[in-house]
Structure 1
Amino acid sequence: MAATSTPQQRTVGELGEAGILELLRDSYRGWTTAPGVIGPGDDAAVIPAPGGKFVIATDAMNEGHHFLRSWPSGVTDTGYSTGWKLAAQNLSDMSAMGAVPSAVSISLAMPKTTPVSWVAHFGRGIANACRWLGAPQTVISGGDLTRAETIATSITATANLVDQPILRTAAEDVTGYQLIHTGNVGLAAAGFAVASHPEPRHLYHAEIRALRGFLRPRPPLSQGPKVVGKVSAMMDVSDSILTDADRLAAANGLHAHIDPDWTSRKAAKFAEIAQRYEADANHWVLTGGEDYGLLAVLDPALEIPAGWDVIGYLTTEPQQRPEVTGWDHF
């Protein structure tokens, strides 16, 4: 008699495309419909754009490059964290434009041997990220499935503007303007160090918190729309404070000075973890990415928005930088 797999052992090859789609629909249940929406089931989705314009962005994550199912430390991802992070990073881009997310569409490529349970958890991670990160109005509008040698996934999000979009390039001269930041910084870098440790070890509370920050980042989605009309330019921090502050400054023909006292205060939160992993917490704060905070340019005559910190200013003077300032895909 041929052996049969248990539900926990079943693979997507056994389930087939129709079965996978039904599995994902179940994971997304309650997130595929809204007034005026035509969601999964047709060749394409229809999403309302009440203001006549919408914001759109795409992100991709590939196994072995952006995520692992099993980390050297022994930490495993059921698929939930991959789905959560995929949604979080894309929704953060919407917030950075001063927009409110309206829909996401997900593509998933994977081997036939991928466990069915991984796909189910992946779908739930996307749905729960929308719920718990503050984007409950988001519709999961559909996507695409295909076979590949390793898991690769991408997400496209749309969002509605609350007013004019906030761009990286300001409409005025912003020399001397403040750089302000909201969200976590250095937490994901600390979590990456924990996940990448070459052997399992007992984790303390601070390490578990950092690990969660790395695997399931929490971008401040509500903050972007709140500062529309107040800040002069803005972007999300995907690759690091140094890398992205320099990008924001360069878009305005300037350089970014980062306050060393701010860096030290933030780094102090990770002193215990950094000591245990023989790392430099200042390095995590300045060059660590994947926290998905927001970085904005503010006229120094204006009040600092609640929940934001001044981290430096824009200047005409070049700034000293380490050889590696943050994540680079290539």
Structure 2
Amino acid sequence: MDAALTVAGLSEAQLLARIFPRLTVPEAGGGAETPTSLLLGPGDDAAIVAAPDGRTVLSIDTQVADQDFRLEWNNGYRTTGFDVGWKAAAQNLSDINAMGARSTSLVVSLTMPPETLVSWVEDFADGLVAGLRELGAPGCTVAGGDLGRGRELSVSVAILGTLDGSEPVLRSGARPGDTVALAGTVGRAAAGLALLESEVHVDVLTAGQRALLDTQCRPAPPLAAGPAAREAGASAMMDISDGLVRDGNRMAAASHAVLNLDPAALKALAAPLLPASDLLGTDPMSWVLGGGEDHGLLAAFPPGVQLPPGFTAIGSVEAPAPTQSTGVNIAGRPADAVGWDHFAD
């Protein structure tokens, strides 16, 4: 294949012919294709997906070049189509996971400038499928989507999930006395972003620093933790995409409560960030409290409930004091980290 071939050199049908064969999600162990909810996939006007539970969990996310990622970063790292495809899978799978649900199918809309390389688009499809497979959602299939031409590169993914007969876990159920717990990581993607934006070339990063960069480019949400939390009786849960404090404030507001975080637990979360913070001279706690895109899970569990595997206690739920409505405290004092805002930042 001509490595310089762009999407302008192919018809839509020709480009789809290169993508469709890449969208099969293999079964773990290399066996036959995993049974899915997909009844009719790409190729018709619309897909058909079974909904045996009778309810459909639905979410959507968008990535736009130079807003959510850069094709070339300050430190010399080049974002691949594989990176963007993987991240598109990860951030959408995480939203379904945060409801205690299981992802079943997704549709993709990809808008590209005409100079986009065909190899980049093929790499995107490979990354999308690899994300589904390697993150632990082999039963989730790509049901279809849309290709379009535009001035900027952007990808939107809408994802469907099922509750398998159980009730969803909402962010509004946290109650005083509950344990606040975390599954996955926080701050690592923010540290990786800081490395990408720095002048320290990617080729000289240590293994520990590169691992943080990889968390930004290819996050790994803990997909087994969502259904496990639901089964354990979690009272509230949500995806941490915009930062521990910002998203914690959302849970606190929805639950009419205060989340009081333990400084010792937060310090432990900051330890893996030292390879980047020592290099850049940044307080790692700012990443722990304000950094998003790790796509960990923040959950609350009633008193006496044993935390399921993968969860670590980081605080407790309390009733608001007379002088405070709702929010996130650290050792009893209001936290002031801002977190990510798509419009303000």
Could you say which TM-score interval applies, normalised by the shorter chain? over 0.9
Residue 29 of structure 1: how far off its partner (Å) = 3.6
Residue 295 of structure 1: how far off its partner (Å) = 0.7
Equivalent residue number for residue 218 of structure 1: 220
The superposition leaves residues 13-60 of structure 1 with CA deviations (integer Å, 9 ceiling, x where unpaired) of 001211221121132145798465100111110011111111111111
Q: How does 1:114-263 map to 2 (within 5 A)?
A: 114-162=116-164, 163-170=166-173, 174-200=175-201, 202-229=204-231, 230-263=233-266
Residue 199 of structure 1: how far off its partner (Å) = 4.8
Q: How does 1:300-319 map to 2 (within 5 A)?
A: 300-315=303-318, 316-317=320-321, 318=324, 319=329
Asked if structure 1 preserves the Cα contact closer than 8 Å seen for 2:209 and 2:275, the reply is no
TM-score by length of 2: 0.90
Residue 277 of structure 1: how far off its partner (Å) = 0.8
Matched, 1:271 2:284: no
User: Using the alignment, how far apart are the partners of 2:237 and 2:227 within structure 1?
Assistant: 11
User: Using the alignment, how far apart are the partners of 2:223 and 2:90 within structure 1?
Assistant: 9
User: Using the alignment, how far apart are the partners of 1:100 and 1:66 within structure 2?
Assistant: 26
Matched, 1:7 2:2: yes
User: Using the alignment, how far apart are the partners of 1:272 and 1:113 within structure 2?
Assistant: 37
Tell me, what secondary structure is at the counterpart of 2:194?
helix
Tell me, what secondary structure is at the counterpart of 2:222?
coil
Moved over 6 A (4+): none
Residue 169 of structure 1: how far off its partner (Å) = 1.4
User: Using the alignment, how far apart are the partners of 1:144 and 1:25 within structure 2?
Assistant: 12
Higher mean displacement: 299-308 or 58-67:
299-308
Tell me which amino acid in the other structure corresponds to 2:222: P
Tell me which amino acid in the other structure corresponds to 1:328: D
Matched, 1:28 2:28: no
Tell me, what secondary structure is at the counterpart of 1:157?
strand
Tell me, what secondary structure is at the counterpart of 1:37?
strand
Equivalent residue number for residue 29 of structure 2: none
Asked if structure 2 preserves the Cα contact closer than 8 Å seen for 1:80 and 1:121, the reply is yes
Tell me, what secondary structure is at the counterpart of 1:119?
helix
Equivalent residue number for residue 335 of structure 2: 321
The superposition leaves residues 109-144 of structure 1 with CA deviations (integer Å, 9 ceiling, x where unpaired) of 111111111101111110000000000011100001
Tell me, what secondary structure is at the counterpart of 1:270?
helix
Matched, 1:292 2:295: yes
Asked if structure 1 preserves the Cα contact closer than 8 Å seen for 2:71 and 2:78, the reply is yes
Tell me, what secondary structure is at the counterpart of 1:50?
coil
Equivalent residue number for residue 18 of structure 1: 13
User: Using the alignment, how far apart are the partners of 2:200 and 2:149 within structure 1?
Assistant: 32
Tell me, what secondary structure is at the counterpart of 2:10?
helix
Equivalent residue number for residue 3 of structure 1: none
User: Using the alignment, how far apart are the partners of 2:309 and 2:81 within structure 1?
Assistant: 35
Residue 301 of structure 1: how far off its partner (Å) = 1.9
Higher mean displacement: 307-316 or 31-40:
31-40
User: Using the alignment, how far apart are the partners of 2:19 and 2:36 within structure 1?
Assistant: 18
Query: How many positions carry a matched residue from both structures?
Result: 322
Q: Classify 1:43/1:288 alpha carbon distance in 2 versus 1 (closer, same or farther; 3 Å).
A: same
Which structure 1 segments of 5+ residues have no match?
1-5
The superposition leaves residues 176-223 of structure 1 with CA deviations (integer Å, 9 ceiling, x where unpaired) of 311111001111011111111135251101111101111000000111
User: Using the alignment, how far apart are the partners of 1:169 and 1:270 within structure 2?
Assistant: 31
Tell me, what secondary structure is at the counterpart of 1:228?
helix
Tell me which amino acid in the other structure corresponds to 1:205: A
Equivalent residue number for residue 100 of structure 1: 102
User: Using the alignment, how far apart are the partners of 1:272 and 1:63 within structure 2?
Assistant: 28
User: Using the alignment, how far apart are the partners of 1:49 and 1:85 within structure 2?
Assistant: 26
Tell me which amino acid in the other structure corresponds to 1:181: L
Tell me which amino acid in the other structure corresponds to 2:4: Q
The superposition leaves residues 221-257 of structure 1 with CA deviations (integer Å, 9 ceiling, x where unpaired) of 1111112141011111100111111111110111221
Residue 327 of structure 1: how far off its partner (Å) = 0.3
Tell me, what secondary structure is at the counterpart of 1:57?
strand
User: Using the alignment, how far apart are the partners of 1:117 and 1:150 within structure 2?
Assistant: 17
Residue 321 of structure 1: how far off its partner (Å) = 2.6
TM-score by length of 1: 0.94
Tell me which amino acid in the other structure corresponds to 2:335: R
Tell me, what secondary structure is at the counterpart of 2:55?
coil
Q: How does 1:6-85 map to 2 (within 5 A)?
A: 7-30=2-25, 34=36, 37-85=39-87
Which structure 2 segments of 5+ residues have no match?
27-32
